[in-house]
Structure 1
Amino acid sequence: MPIFGLGLHLIAAIFFAVHAVRTGRQMYWLLILFSFPLLGSIVYFAAVFLPHSRLERQARLAGHALQKKLDPGREVREARAAFDLTPTAHNRMRLAAALLDSGQTAEAVAQYDACLQGPFAGDAEVILGAARAKLADGQAEAAIALLAPLQERQPGYRPEETGLALGRAYASVGRQAEAGAQFAAVAQRFGSIEARVELALWALANREEAVARRELEEIGHARRHMTKYTLDLHRELFRRLDAAAGVR
């Protein structure tokens, strides 16, 4: 029985080690995972795997949506206060993310640009955040310059978010074939509502009727089975889709 238990610990450690390598994590994680198979796996799950999982992202989006309704400026106020008190790279990243989430894109870009010059310049989270801020601020070419190398170097890092952001950036500069390829790849791999809506919007805009019809049918089926809360969470996404499809 102890041997069996040890085997499970090693299997978990190997699984997380593969994840660490594929997502470009620091190699010290491999030392931790194999030196302390059980404890190392628990730490890696809590510190790395869960915060970047799709489940955590959905929970984060739901939490942000609720907080925006109750107190729209709270996160920016708290992040700015923390940065003013202790101007560390971590607090600057927090402030940049809060500014982007609140729609203050120009200041978010400035804060992320400062992060890109600091010790976390090569950090995938900083690069993705900076690219999203630049895209939201109308700097699609600058976003592509960050996202394309990130996707190539670290294909396992938040592939759904990276692919969607890169697809939107390509579409913004008229590189429609590349945009469609990104949306199609993400929709096929993850099948999320966000990915399917982006693919449907691209197909409608580019007169890809077969793709548009297929995606609209899939999305329509999913919408009929969504709860009121889920529909409200995706309200803006569906508003864009209905407008593009001519639905009233």
Structure 2
Amino acid sequence: MPILGLGLHLIVAIFFAVHAVRTGRPMYWLLILFSFPLLGSIVYFAAVFLPHSRLERQARQAGHALQKKLDPGRDVREAREAFDLTPTAHNQMRLAAALLDNGQTAEAVAQYEACLQGPFAGDAGVILGAARAQAAHGRPQAAIGLLEQLQAKQAGYRPEEVGLVLGRAYAAAGRQEQAGAQFAMVAERFGSIEARVELALWALAARDEALAQRELKEIGHARRHMTKYTLDLHRELFKRLDAATGAR
């Protein structure tokens, strides 16, 4: 039994080691995982794997959606009060994110641009937030510049999310071939429903019938097996797909 337990710990450590290599994590994680198979795996799961997983992101999105329904301006109000009281870089980043989430894109762009001039200019979260703000404000080319820089320098930071935002920015900028390549890469690597829908929408717009039908078949299969909660979480995404396919 002890040998079986050790083998299981090693399998888990190998799984996380593969994840660390694929997502560009520092190599010291491999030393931690294989020197302390059980403890190292627990630490990696809590510090790296869970915070960047789709499950954690979906739970965060659901919580934000519920809060916005109950009190739409709460995040912005609290963030602005905190920044006015203590104008630190951290509070400015919080305000910028709240403004973007609330659709106040012009002010969000301004706040993120200020963040990019401060001590957190190289922070991956700030760069991604600034890119999302630029894209939402109708400046896809500015978003592309930030995201390409982020992918080149910090490839392991939220690669699925960065890839999707970059793909949408390419599409908005009229760079359709690059948009398709980005969506295809994300869909192949992660296989998430969001990536598949974006790829299907791109294929429909590009009149790539074979690719569109392949993705629509996969999406339809996944959609039929989704829970009500998951369907509701992706409601806006499926609205876009249904509008593009003429579904009722």
Q: What TM-score results when the alignment is normalised by the length of structure 1? A: 0.85
Q: What amino acid is the match of 1:235?
A: R
Number of residues of Structure 1 aligned to a counterpart in Structure 2: 248
Q: What amino acid is the match of 2:204?
A: L
Match of 1:50 in 2: 50
Q: Deviations over 1:90-126 (max 9, x none)?
A: 1111111111111111111111101100001011111
Match of 1:66 in 2: 66
Deviation at 1:171, TM superposition (A): 0.5
Cα RMSD between the aligned structures? 3.0
Match of 1:128 in 2: 128
Distance in 1 of aligned mates of 2:21 and 2:88: 28
Match of 2:160 in 1: 160
Q: Any gaps of 5 or more consecutive residues in structure 2?
A: none
Deviates more, 1:134-143 or 1:67-76: 67-76
The answer to whether structure 1 residue 115 and structure 2 residue 115 are counterparts is yes
Structure 1 contact 164–186 (Cα < 8 Å) conserved: yes
**Partner of 2:207: helix, strand, or coil?**
coil
Moved over 3 A (4+): 5-49
Q: Any gaps of 5 or more consecutive residues in structure 1?
A: none
**Partner of 1:72: helix, strand, or coil?**
coil
Distance in 2 of aligned mates of 1:148 and 1:155: 10
Deviates more, 1:232-241 or 1:13-22: 13-22
Match runs of 1:132-211 below 5 Å: 132-211=132-211
Deviation at 1:52, TM superposition (A): 2.2
Q: Would the alpha carbon gap of residues 243 and 22 (structure 1) be closer, same or farther in structure 2, given more than 3 Å must change?
A: closer
Q: What amino acid is the match of 1:65?
A: A
Deviation at 1:185, TM superposition (A): 0.6
Deviates more, 1:27-36 or 1:187-196: 27-36
Structure 2 contact 120–126 (Cα < 8 Å) conserved: yes
Deviates more, 1:31-40 or 1:42-51: 31-40
Deviation at 1:39, TM superposition (A): 7.5
Structure 2 contact 23–159 (Cα < 8 Å) conserved: no
Deviation at 1:246, TM superposition (A): 1.3
Q: What TM-score results when the alignment is normalised by the length of structure 2? A: 0.85
Distance in 1 of aligned mates of 2:83 and 2:36: 36
Q: Deviations over 1:212-243 (max 9, x none)?
A: 11111111111111122211111111111111
Match runs of 1:233-244 below 5 Å: 233-244=233-244
Q: Deviations over 1:62-85 (max 9, x none)?
A: 111111222211111111111111
Deviation at 1:56, TM superposition (A): 1.2
